[in-house]
Amino acid sequence: MEGDIALGMKYIGAGLACFGMIGAAIGVGNIFGSFLDGALRNPSAASQQTGNLFVGAALAEALGLFAFVVAMLLLFAA
């Protein structure tokens, strides 16, 4: 019985950990939105900024992936 509750709590915890991805989604969306915003105003400068775009997206995305890793750790390692 107690083991069942602990198991359920584990799944609830993993689900809660996924809320961290909301922040990453907002961040990545912001980056690509702002990039398109600027790129459509000045298309000739856009191609030089794709490197920065992907680095920024990767840095923002990594934080969401930490949430994913925590969820996976809770499910399979804890």
Q: Measuring CA to CA, how many Å separate 17 from each of 3, 13, 20, 21, 52?
A: 21, 6, 6, 8, 29
The distance in angstroms from the start CA to the end CA of the chain is 18
Our finding on whether 58 is near another protein (CB under 8 A) is: yes
Residues 2-21 that bind another protein (CB under 8 A): 11
Our finding on whether 72 is near another protein (CB under 8 A) is: yes
Of 22-30, 31-39, 48-56, the segment contacting another protein by CB under 8 A is 48-56
Question: With contacts defined by CB under 8 A, how many residues of the chain interact with another protein?
Answer: 16
Q: From CA 16, how far away is CA 9, in angstroms rounded? A: 10
Our finding on whether 54 is near another protein (CB under 8 A) is: yes
Our finding on whether 62 is near another protein (CB under 8 A) is: yes
